[in-house]
Amino acid sequence: MKPRLQIFLLSLLITIAVAGFAYGFLSPATAAPPVRGVETGFTTVKTTTFTPVSGGPAVLRSISVRYHEKSGDWKNVQTSLSPTGVITAVTISIGRIGKGVFVVNPKEKTLDYLSDFEPHAQVTPGDLRNSPQFARTDSVLGYKTFVQRLSGDGNQGIDYYISPDLQGTTVKRVEVYEKGTEVEELVNVIPGDQTGLFDVTDAFRVKYDMLREKIRALETSGRTELADHFKAVLAAKDQPQKQ
């Protein structure tokens, strides 16, 4: 798919998604049949809503469109919205196996390194069921998920709904904290590999500003062992650029 056509279709999809959420036709429904991401690439659309602890209607915070290649590489476009539905930011990130996870800055033509993204074995139902965080099984859009729970104080905590059928993707996240509940949830899955996802970004310069910020934050909080780990990562990544 050509970049301009892809941008046009993405803009159209976001417009439809905003309207669809408001009028109800993007409400979660059972997919028939589900797309099996292990066998093909696919695109997911997820919405994030927030419901305050005081009650009231859920507020749409963002819409995320993620393109998954069969190889495991991906590109994510997140559109953030104000409480009145005005677009406040569009954040693009990519994951390239063996290269890393990056935030894309199209204006500066840079990729800001976030973390490694190494090849890994396909997550299995057994892996998820045997995890210490396993809470239960559930279904999202017809996909069987294995809910992993991270408990907090009182009734606070986060539930991650992970689907082995979609490359181990988290298809739903429910986070309960003192201000309210945030829910990120899959609302659509579109089969098929996208082409040309990285044609433009492959030529972008890689920088490490976000990794440096992470190291400073860890040092400030006293987590020196983890800070030292990321310092070693930074040294290994940054050295080739200085040669």
Q: For the segment 42-89, what is each residue's pLDDT rounded down to a tens digit?
A: 999 999 999 999 888 899 999 999 999 988 899 999 999 999 999 999
Domain that holds residue 56: 3-117+172-207
pLDDT at residue 137, as a whole number: 97
CA 129 → CA 104, 124, 126, 164, 169, distances in Å?
Answer: 35, 9, 5, 11, 15
Does residue 199 have a pLDDT over 60? yes
Q: Does residue 2 have a pLDDT over 50? A: no
In a domain, 134, yes or no: no
pLDDT, tens digit, 9 for 90 and up, residues 174-198: 999 999 999 999 999 998 888 888 9
Q: What is the three-class DSSP state of 27? A: coil
Residues 234 and 199 grouped into a single domain? no
Q: Whats the size of the chain, residue-wise?
A: 243
Residue 173, Ramachandran bin (φ over 0: left; ψ between -120 and 50: alpha; else beta): beta
The yes-or-no verdict on residue 134 having pLDDT over 70 is yes
pLDDT tens track for 20-36: 433 333 434 444 456 66
CATH code of the domain containing 43: 2.50.20
Same domain, 94 and 32: yes
Phi, psi of 111 (to 5 degrees): -120, 120
Query: With pLDDT > 90 as the criterion, what percentage of the chain qualifies?
Result: 59
